[in-house]
Structure 1
């Protein structure tokens, strides 16, 4: 049984895996995190735990957990794919986990993982198991927030999931068109560019805005909101293999 902890910029996800099957999932804030973790430890017999943290706030709690096999994911953690990123120390741990998930679940295939969260990240691993890098751009909420913060009169808006007209007839409608349609055009353009360059590419869409975006995109994609958690579980599972122990 594995405890998977994903500490993002806005929330913490706690997942319980038995092999490849997710048995439990909790979304919490930092203040309630320790209590919920202790409840999970009481409920399940964990053999291993892994944490992916973009803020490091949760590491003190994680280090104190009564679990023998604990992994803090970093650029030094053994991974199953070949990392060709030129600055591996700066590669986000969330991107490492997402790429691991793609490598394990879609072996010997080109994969582009798109994580639509606070930022939108694009991570590409080719059919030879080589991670080539990707891209990072502002997420939907960040775009709305920046327009409000860096102008005098534009309002603060949030995501709405209904159809957005291309021609905004009011200021708010224009902002929605610019952000939502612009984001969809960006993602569709990225997908098209990778397919033109590499041929057949598996597209995996995840993150908080995945469900909304997949309704608008016409490409054939795999939508999995929990792909990062599954990737973390694969990283933790890999650590017990002979291959990982030799690295």
Structure 2
């Protein structure tokens, strides 16, 4: 059975096609008109049938409905959507309605707990926003932080000034810089990295740091602490939240 998993975020639509636990194809599509994105997905799969689909999204209900409708038109299956709950195997969420967390955060925690069911984990998802969430070794959600992602920080500064122009391809580096624009890029990366390092420091080496999201590799390369990179952590959590049935959906 071919399973199409989708993570429709604010910047791009990530997808992967799995069969028998193995990834047959994967990719990411920059956000555009829904019809354009689904057409690109169809072209990428090049005739491979889809028997089951799951989707996570932080976008509006209207956009989610439209994506689901276009996926059904293209592949004949309607993506199933996760329903965040307070108590699920490996993860307990207290003091907040799980729906208020954002589906991607909840799923990333599920994915992390599936990887490390007996250890404390800190999950950092770096995309449009940078989210940092901690789950204790007992599986209880300890809380989190949310701040602008790297490109969001960069845009917030350049769009508020008259003389700075956002580069087509940002070059983030950790360290001091002379030109103002490079200093802004380096400052954005340094702020994100320092936040992560400071939060990990609170746990004195007793927590695993897991990075995912579009800027995860960049962050992983500049951090001065041990880190593990899992590009599909949200999709891994999606598979935990919605196990695939054996039936073929018509």
TM tier, smaller: 0.7 to 0.9
- TM-score, normalisation: structure 2: 0.82
- Aligned CA distance change for structure 1 residues 141 and 18 (closer, same or farther; 3 Å): same
The answer for the alignment partner of 1:214 in structure 2 is: 220
- TM-score, normalisation: structure 1: 0.83
More deviation, 145-154/34-43: 34-43
Give matches, 1:24-103, under 5 Å.
24-28=25-29, 29=31, 30-38=34-42, 40=45, 42-46=47-51, 48-56=52-60, 57-63=63-69, 65=72, 66-67=76-77, 70-76=79-85, 79-80=88-89, 81-103=91-113
- Aligned CA distance change for structure 1 residues 41 and 103 (closer, same or farther; 3 Å): farther
CA contact (8 A) 2:4 2:54 kept: yes
The answer for the alignment partner of 1:234 in structure 2 is: 240
Q: Any unmatched runs of 5+ in structure 1?
A: 241-247
The answer for the alignment partner of 2:5 in structure 1 is: 4
The answer for the alignment partner of 2:248 in structure 1 is: none
Q: Which runs of 4+ in 1 moved over 6 A?
A: none
Structure-2 separation of matches of 1:17 and 1:82: 28
Deviation at 1:151, TM superposition (A): 2.9
Q: Secondary structure at the match of 1:72?
A: coil
Deviation at 1:58, TM superposition (A): 3.7
Structure-2 separation of matches of 1:201 and 1:31: 42
RMSD: 2.5
- Aligned CA distance change for structure 1 residues 60 and 202 (closer, same or farther; 3 Å): same
CA contact (8 A) 2:135 2:141 kept: yes
The answer for the alignment partner of 1:152 in structure 2 is: 162
Alignment partner of 2:116 out of 101, 106, 109: 106
After superposition, the C-alpha distances for 1:98-119 in whole angstroms (9 at most, x for unaligned) are: 0110111111110111011111
CA contact (8 A) 1:113 1:203 kept: yes
Q: Secondary structure at the match of 1:159?
A: coil
